[in-house]
Amino acid sequence: MSALRIRHAVAADAAALARNMADWFLAAYGHASDAVNTAAFVAANFDAARQAAEIADPDIVTLLAEADGVMVGYAQLRFATRAPDSVSGADPAELGRFYFAPAFHGRGAAAELMQDACRVARERGRRRLWLLVWQESPQAIRFYEKHGFRKVGAAVFPVGEDRKADWVLCKPLDEAP
Ligand SMILES: CC(C)(COP(=O)(O)OP(=O)(O)OC[C@H]1O[C@@H](n2cnc3c(N)ncnc32)[C@H](O)[C@@H]1OP(=O)(O)O)[C@@H](O)C(=O)NCCC(=O)NCCS
- Residue 7: its pLDDT value, please? 98
169, burial (CB in 10 Å: exposed 0-12, middle 13-18, buried 19+): buried
Residue-by-residue DSSP string for 37-89: HHHHHHHHHS-HHHHHHHHH-TTEEEEEEEETTEEEEEEEEESSSPPPTTS-S
- Residue 176: its pLDDT value, please? 54
Sheet holding 60-67, edge to edge: 4-8, 60-67, 70-78, 92-100, 128-134, 162-172, 150-159
Whether the Cβ atoms of residue 74 and residue 60 lie closer than 8 Å to each other: no
- Residue 174: its pLDDT value, please? 77
- Residue 175: its pLDDT value, please? 62
CATH of span 4-172: 3.40.630.30
How many angstroms is it from 82 CA to the middle of ligand 1?
26
Determine the average pLDDT of the residues in 117-126. Answer: 97
Which residues partner with 76 through β-bridges?
62, 97
H or E stretch covering 123? helix 109-123
Task: Give dist(CA 70, CA 80) in Å, integer.
Answer: 30
Interval 46-92: pLDDT, tens: 999 999 999 999 999 999 999 999 999 999 999 999 999 999 999 99
Task: Give dist(CA 118, CA 70) in Å, integer.
Answer: 23
Interval 24-54: pLDDT, tens: 999 999 999 999 999 999 999 999 999 999 9
Task: Give dist(CA 127, CA 79) in Å, integer.
Answer: 12
Determine the average pLDDT of the residues in 151-155. Answer: 98
User: In which band, very low, low, confident or very high, does the pLDDT at 2 lie, cut at 50, 70 and 90?
Assistant: confident
Determine the average pLDDT of the residues in 123-127. Answer: 97
pTM of the model as a whole: 0.96
State the closest ligand 1 atom to the C-alpha of 134, by its place in the atom list counted from 1: 48
State the closest ligand 1 atom to the C-alpha of 25, by its place in the atom list counted from 1: 42
Q: Pocket residues for ligand 1 (CB within 6 Å)?
A: 28, 98-100, 105-106, 110-111, 131, 133, 137-140, 142-143, 146
Determine the average pLDDT of the residues in 108-133. Answer: 97
How many angstroms is it from 103 CA to the middle of ligand 1?
12
Determine the average pLDDT of the residues in 109-117. Answer: 98
C-alpha of 57 from chain center: 16
Q: Which residues contact 152 (CB under 8 A, 6 or more apart)?
A: 86, 87, 88, 130, 168, 169, 170
